[in-house]
Amino acid sequence: MYASGKYSSRGPALIPRMKTKHRIYYITLFSVVLLGLIATGMFQFWPHSIESAADWTLDKRSVHDAPLVRLPVSSPIPERGDLSCRMHTCFDVYRCGYNPKNRIKVYIYPLQKFVDELGVPISSTGLSREYNDLLSAISDSNFYTDDVTRACLFIPSIDVLNQNSLRIRETAQALTMLPRWDKGMNHLLFNMLPGGPPDYNTALDVPRDRALLAGGGFSTWTYRQGYDVSIPVYSPLSADVELPERQPRHYFILSSQTAIHREYRAELERLKEENGEALLLLDKCSNLSQGVASARKRCYKGQVYDYPQILQESSFCVVLRGARLGQAALSDVLQAGCVPVILADSYILPFSEVLDWKRASVVIPEEKLSEMYTILKSIPHRQVEEMQRQARWFWEAYFSSMKAIGLTTLQIINDRIYPYAARTYEQWNNPPLAVKIVNSPLFLPLIPPRAPGFTAVVLTYDRVESLFRVITEISKVPSLAKLLVVWNNQNKSPPEESLWPKIGVPLKVVRTKENKLSNRFFPYDEIETEAVLAIDDDIIMLTSDELQFGYEVWREFPDRLVGYPGRLHLWDHEMGKWKYESEWTNEVSMVLTGAAFYHKYFNYLYTYKMPGDIKNWVDAHMNCEDIAMNFLVANITGKAPIKVTPRKKFKCPECTAIDGLSLDQTHMVERSECINKFASVFGTMPLKVVEHRADPVLYKDDFPEKLKSFPNIGSL
Amino acid sequence: MQAKKRYLTLFSAGACLILLFCFGGIQVPLSRKGPSRRDDRSLTGYHPGARWRRFSASLQPFSPWEHDQSDSHNEHISPRQKRDAISGVYTGKRCRMESCFDFSLCQRNGFKVYVYPQQKGEKMSESYQNILSSIEGSMLYTPDPGQACLFVLSLDTLDRDQLSPQYVHNLKAKVQSLHLWNGGKNHIIFNLYSGTWPDYTEDLGFDIGLAMLAKASISTENFRPNFDVSIPLFSKDHPRTGGERGYLKHNTIPPYRKYMLVFKGKRYLTGIGSDTRNALYHVHNSEDVVLLTTCKHGKDWQKHKDARCDKDNAEYDKYDYREMLYNSTFCLVPRGRRLGSFRFLEALQAACVPVMLSNGWELPFSEIIDWNTAAVIGDERLLLQIPSTVRSIHQDKILSLRHQTQFLWEAYFNSVEKIVLTTLEIIQDRVLQHTSRSNLMWNSLPGGLFTLPQYSTYLGDFPFYYAKLGVKPYTKFTAIVHVVSPLVSQSQPVMKLLVVVAKSQYCAQVIVVWNCDKPLPAKHRWPVTSVPVIVIEGESKVISSRFLPYDTIPTDAVLSLDEDTVLSTTEVDFAFTVWQSFPDRIVGYPARSHFWDSNKERWGYTSKWTNEYSMVLTGAAIYHKYYHYLYTTYLPASLKTMVDQMSNCEDILMNFLVSSVSKLPPIKVTQKKQYKETMMGQSSRASRWADPDHFAQRQTCMNKFASWFGTMPLVHSQMRLDPVLFKDQVSILRKKYRDIERL
């Protein structure tokens, strides 16, 4: 675009020279017009390719080529910034609109160089390396738009990261020159070093109307909760130094800042006197040889230590306020996995809107500096370890680069605009650990009432006689609410209605389109109860008491699978893989779904949320649907299934075929394969092993049978 | 020629214009996708379509290393002086804990709350009475103002609406005359209503000085973060203690209810707060989005009545509020006259996910509650988008929002006591900053009121967060044997018990709590065991000392034992493996049950063998050590004294406590023999089970406890956990816990 602009400017210059040669001139003119029309056409059809080509030329330019803007002395100055601003008063939410992705669009102004009337720039540094990184990261992110009309948030390219390098009044004037400024509405400024001597205000002093401020070093008096974003002060060291994990930590408390007020330093010295070697107090080095970066060294009594490496040697690291509340040292400390001890009264910790700092730091009032040692000693050791991990993770995710800082800020603002799609506490605060953190939506300890009963879902193919017996048996269970027969045979119609057993509850038949095992776990609309009893069409040995008791146990554990025969997975050390174990073990990690109670929610999960290709794999192999269900439930709840009653296998006279299969060696091999396959898809082994089963309270007790609620519990 | 020249100039100008259109022309509105709302001031070098691209040239860092040094130039400002200066500057609307609160008052005696004595003749609403008595009944209360760190007025400040009959006059003078007032420092003022028609300002009508506000319907504008506390608006019928449970009983799948979004309430024809409610009819579709308003309220509504009133009123009468509340997935909570409304708590209890439509309302307990997990926070400006927003919420999210409403309702809102205690605990967390609750403690089960950070700040030390952290409890237990009778022979049951328990592979330590009047026996008289046996002499010899949180307990699990308990090592081992699956419950042997005696209109206690149980006695039970701490600090002195005086019911009280935390029944594991019942015949002198009054006492205890808890926390269970192969007809050699079956 820039190049074509140049070309067009040459056009008018040609005209006067060709005054006399009209014809040639006409031809030139027409060809130029034609060219123009072609070019227009190109704009219509390939707008993007042209734009990016134009960008590329822009990119080639250096910062010094940024267009110069002269600020008239009289140009307006924005208002100071309204402390009562909140999203609902100072932010125009209509610009963000409703969008299915729930993501705000961010526009970045192109770089301009602002100078006053005498040609003196408004900033001594101009665009800093960090701000360049920040804006570039945002422009590469999903938030970015180059269409100013669609943007919901605007970021000026005027660098205000460090107030010290700014001319306050002129910077403010430059802001008002921005074409979409509109009283700072929906504009975001990034500042890390606010204030200046002698008072050091805790927020940027540049008047900025309604603009949002992402500031490092807010105090509770300048921070507009829910409007501003508190950000860290970036430490440039982190780009240079890598601090791989290291143990052990020799020191208990380390103080490494160089600009500590003498009052506080004296107090720290006193602590050191009392507690000796556990504390290490470092200061800047006075006599370093030439060429050594003073930022990378610290000293104690002439002994030189490498910074920030030394931070890794301590459990806790002091981060004291300086003239400013926000300290770059915090970032170094976190990077070293040292738990920051923050002594900065009224300081708003970075990203405190979303980060739970209690899990990664210790905040102590400045007044209690002298009690620091006792306070820190009272923290349980296991907690310190967790805090160290958490500190390190906070740094990696939110502090490590300008990109991390910038995108976190935008995400926080995004979460405010689309709160119903906001990232959760867990997403913000839980490190992506190897340990699986369970998070089931059914977490409430709720014992559902008995009354609605359960729906029995019988999967059948063509064993009608056996099916009818099962139906008759189950219909005797008091809490049965409905019976659903899943007819999985497409070649044969179910028997006529008149032939079905007459039972006291509604009976429905669902015909499936394909003979798939997963049909048994489909969340049919016909299932109106929470509790589902999945049962095979040959399970006739379970007594009515046994089933009713199973339902009662399910009510106490509605988020688990409650079944009869239990199975176990074992690690085969020789083969180096998982093995399936069927009977006579003292432990249980799965229950068979040939007869099992579970929540209908798991039907929905099985059908729609089963990870990987497990569902299709099960349908293709016509096996292991029960193992898959056990994996699924254990994975989301982190809990073991409940095996009820002594039942060890489903034995029945008629179904020797199935039983024969169960005993078959190849069957066992196949089941073992399933476990290994599922474990690899889940990326972990979610199954939990337990050594107990549930029996009625008075089971096998020396007590009159007729007084027992469930006297008829079958045997093996 | 002249004409031609002119013609030419015109033509070339036109051509140039076309050219400019073509090449520089994407700025022109014609080629835009939509019309721009504002005129762009064109500036040199400003290209609206320009992308930001990284500059590759080397740039200066934003902050040179010297900046850190330059900080130190300010050494002349002493931080201490700076701190002192703060308290003078930031007062009134800018009050914060740092500037308006005196922390030193809390240093000596911890966080204690004092309530001014009630003046005779001073009228007080029932709600305020409830607030005061909740404080007086809590563990934070002190009757001595000299020990207090926080002060609560006995002047009713709840209703500051001048037109209200509850309004207390001359509050200003009354407050000023209190000699402990001290300019309001370290005082907290509770308020539900402020301002009056037509503007309903948030002014209380008297100078609160440096006092904190615990106020309903507070706006973000007036809310002083980390100083004030936003509390929910509750009605005068809100129960003082106990409180109703949430209405959620079922988790239907899919989770959608009959209605998607409902609201039923007043519409204001004049005055503040009208706009949003006036616009609701745009969204109402009388199918699944039912938003009903009525104009029919107040004296002269007919006078202000508008064109829609009659139609609205008719529609309004067609629906029953309760029916809608229970059958809707989402409930709209728009602002009323004030920012908060009763609809909020109603929706929360009904598990109807609240959709907040009250811009600028600082939500209740916003300091500690993450409302995004339990509510949809809408924007009044985007009312028309609300239906599509709630429809876009995934069903898994609906389930978890719904569960969270129930958790929050029961943890912080369902009684005046909970609301008040939550308020006080929030302030306590600020005062004891480094021992305060983390976000997770407040926002997950069982909630902040049951999670005391003074016990530990590490989540893994509590029985509630193992799954959340992905960690497991420590794999050993500490046995605590409560001994009341003197040591006379080596064959005493307690001697056997010590040996048996110490033999367990999971036993880390045995603690004997010596609550016998006889002096401590010599060390050599205790059996020799492989694990250390520590004898602690109870100072006051009261029964509650068995539940003290001794520092000498190194494990998470505690096995609590009576001296006459008969157990085998296998039984102990099995019970402990079961407990590892249920670390937040009591897992043990002797089970008891409660029932409602409708003839006598009270709770009954039974030790008969029944098909269900709701208590597992602590004569032989494993539970988490944290419950020792809760028992000692959370329960009121009145209950503990009662237990100590009777030397009875401590086990019942423990069951009440654990069930009220976990909301679940205890777990009974299988036992070799009948417990206790067989022991009764034995001649153990101190056996309290032989006492005929014993049983009657336990009956009384049940009812005393239930009345303090305000509800019956015990829950019944019908199952017992046995080893997987228990009494199965297979070779005993296959069984891991074979001793349990041998009689």
Mean pLDDT to the nearest integer, A660-664 = 53
Q: Do B51 and A51 touch (CB under 8 A)?
A: yes
Buried b (16+ CB within 10 A) or exposed e, A88-117: bebbebebbeeeeebbbbbbbbbbbbbbbe
Q: What is the pLDDT of residue B19?
A: 53
Q: Please tell me the distance in Å from B528's CA to the nearest CA on chain A.
A: 31
Q: Which of A96, A332, A420 to mutate to test the interface with B (most CBs of B within 10 A)?
A: A420
Q: Give percent above pLDDT 90 in chain B.
A: 63
Q: Do B728 and A646 touch (CB under 8 A)?
A: yes
Contacts of A204 in chain B (CB under 8 A): none
Q: What is the pLDDT of residue B683?
A: 40
- Summarize pLDDT for B535-565 with one digit per residue, the tens: 998 778 899 999 999 999 999 999 999 999 9
Residue spans of beta strands (DSSP E) within B531-643: 533-537, 557-562, 587-588, 591-597, 602-606, 615-616, 620-624
Chain A residue whose CA is closest to B227: A220
Question: Does residue B48 surpass a pLDDT of 60?
Answer: no
Which residues, including other chains, have CB under 8 Å from residue A272's CB and lie 6 or more apart?
A279, A281
Q: What is the DSSP string of B100-148?
A: H--TTHHHHH-S-EEEPPPPTT----HHHHHHHHHHHTSTTB-S-GGG-
Which residues, including other chains, have CB under 8 Å from residue A606's CB and lie 6 or more apart?
A518, A521, A615, A628, A629, A632
Q: Please tell me the distance in Å from A383's CA to the nearest CA on chain B.
A: 5
Q: Do A586 and B723 touch (CB under 8 A)?
A: yes
Q: Please tell me the distance in Å from A59's CA to the nearest CA on chain B.
A: 6
Which residues, including other chains, have CB under 8 Å from residue B330's CB and lie 6 or more apart?
B260, B261, B262, B352, B353, B354, B355, B376, B390
Q: What is the pLDDT of residue A32?
A: 66
CA-nearest of B637, B651, B553, B558 to B605 is: B651
Query: B475 CB near a chain A CB, below 8 Å?
Result: no
Given a contact cutoff of 8 angstroms between Cβ atoms, the answer to whether A646 and B727 are in contact is yes
Which residue among A226, A601, A703 places its CB closest to the CB of B220?
A226
Distance (Å, whole) CA A433 – CA A393: 10
Q: Answer with the residue of higher pLDDT: A33 or A685.
A: A685
Contacts of B429 in chain A (CB under 8 A): none
Question: Which amino acid appears at position B689 of this protein?
Answer: W
Contacts of A180 in chain B (CB under 8 A): 38, 40
Question: Does residue A476 surpass a pLDDT of 80?
Answer: yes
Q: What is the pLDDT of residue B602?
A: 94
Global ipTM? 0.89
Contacts of A584 in chain B (CB under 8 A): 725, 730, 734
Contacts of A356 in chain B (CB under 8 A): 438-440
Given a contact cutoff of 8 angstroms between Cβ atoms, the answer to whether A603 and A518 are in contact is no
- pTM, two decimal places: 0.89
Q: What does the block give as tokens for B558?
A: 């505690």
Contacts of A449 in chain B (CB under 8 A): 249-250
Chain A residue whose CA is closest to B374: A420
Which residue among A433, A444, A447 places its CB closest to the CB of B407?
A444
Query: B256 CB near a chain A CB, below 8 Å?
Result: no
pLDDT band at B677 (very low <50, low <70, confident <90, very high): very low
Given a contact cutoff of 8 angstroms between Cβ atoms, the answer to whether B247 and B349 are in contact is yes
Given a contact cutoff of 8 angstroms between Cβ atoms, the answer to whether A693 and A645 are in contact is yes
Q: What is the pLDDT of residue B352?
A: 97
Query: B719 CB near a chain A CB, below 8 Å?
Result: yes
- Summarize pLDDT for B612-653 with one digit per residue, the tens: 999 999 999 999 999 999 999 999 999 999 999 999 999 999
CA-nearest of A9, A31, A27 to A18 is: A27
Q: Do B389 and A136 touch (CB under 8 A)?
A: no
Contacts of B257 in chain A (CB under 8 A): none
Chain A residue whose CA is closest to B51: A146
Chain B residue whose CA is closest to A357: B438
Q: Do A8 and B19 touch (CB under 8 A)?
A: yes
List all residues of chain B from 289 to 318 with a beta carbon under 8 Å from chain A.
Answer: none
Task: Report chain A's mean pLDDT, rounded to a whole number.
Answer: 87
Identify the residue whose tokens are 């799954």.
Answer: B467
Which residue among B390, B433, B609 places its CB closest to the CB of A365?
B433
Main-chain phi, psi angles of A447, to 5 degrees: -100, 105
Q: Which of A20, A51, A358, A651 to mutate to test the interface with B (most CBs of B within 10 A)?
A: A358
B387 Cα distance to chain centroid: 30
Compute the radius of gyration of chain A from its Cα atoms.
36
Q: What is the pLDDT of residue B17?
A: 58
List all residues of chain B from 377 to 396 with a beta carbon under 8 Å from chain A.
Answer: 377, 379-382, 385, 388-390, 392-393, 395-396
Question: Does residue B45 surpass a pLDDT of 50?
Answer: no
Chain B residue whose CA is closest to A136: B54
Q: Do B72 and A638 touch (CB under 8 A)?
A: no
CA-nearest of A345, A527, A369 to A452 is: A527
List all residues of chain B from 326 to 365 with a beta carbon under 8 Å from chain A.
Answer: 359-360
Mean pLDDT to the nearest integer, B390-419 = 95
Question: Does residue A6 surpass a pLDDT of 70?
Answer: no
Q: Which of B26, B63, B732 to mutate to test the interface with A (most CBs of A within 10 A)?
A: B63
Q: Answer with the residue of higher pLDDT: B39 or B327.
A: B327
Catalytic residues of B: 651
Task: Report chain B's mean pLDDT, rounded to a whole number.
Answer: 87
Given a contact cutoff of 8 angstroms between Cβ atoms, the answer to whether A697 and A629 are in contact is no
Mean pLDDT to the nearest integer, A394-421 = 95
- Summarize pLDDT for B346-403 with one digit per residue, the tens: 999 999 999 999 999 999 999 999 999 999 999 999 999 999 999 999 999 999 999 9
Contacts of B396 in chain A (CB under 8 A): 441
Q: Do A363 and B437 touch (CB under 8 A)?
A: no
Q: Please tell me the distance in Å from B316's CA to the nearest CA on chain A.
A: 29
- Summarize pLDDT for B163-185 with one digit per residue, the tens: 888 888 888 889 989 999 999 99
Given a contact cutoff of 8 angstroms between Cβ atoms, the answer to whether B417 and B137 are in contact is yes
List all residues of chain B from 38 to 97 with a beta carbon under 8 Å from chain A.
Answer: 38, 40-63, 65, 67-75, 77-80, 83, 86, 90, 94, 96
Distance (Å, whole) CA A467 – CA A509: 12
Question: Which range, A19-23, B45-49, B275-279, B531-535, has the best average confidence (pLDDT)?
Answer: B531-535
Mean pLDDT to the nearest integer, B488-499 = 89
Q: Do B577 and A139 touch (CB under 8 A)?
A: no
Q: What is the pLDDT of residue B62?
A: 85
**Which ranges in A63-216 belong to alpha helices (H)?**
87-90, 129-139, 168-177
Mean pLDDT to the nearest integer, A484-507 = 93
Given a contact cutoff of 8 angstroms between Cβ atoms, the answer to whether A376 and A249 are in contact is no
- Summarize pLDDT for A33-69 with one digit per residue, the tens: 667 666 555 554 444 433 333 343 344 456 677 888 8
Q: What is the pLDDT of residue B123?
A: 85
Which residue among B43, B51, B469 places its CB closest to the CB of A179?
B43
Q: Answer with the residue of higher pLDDT: B187 or A81.
A: B187
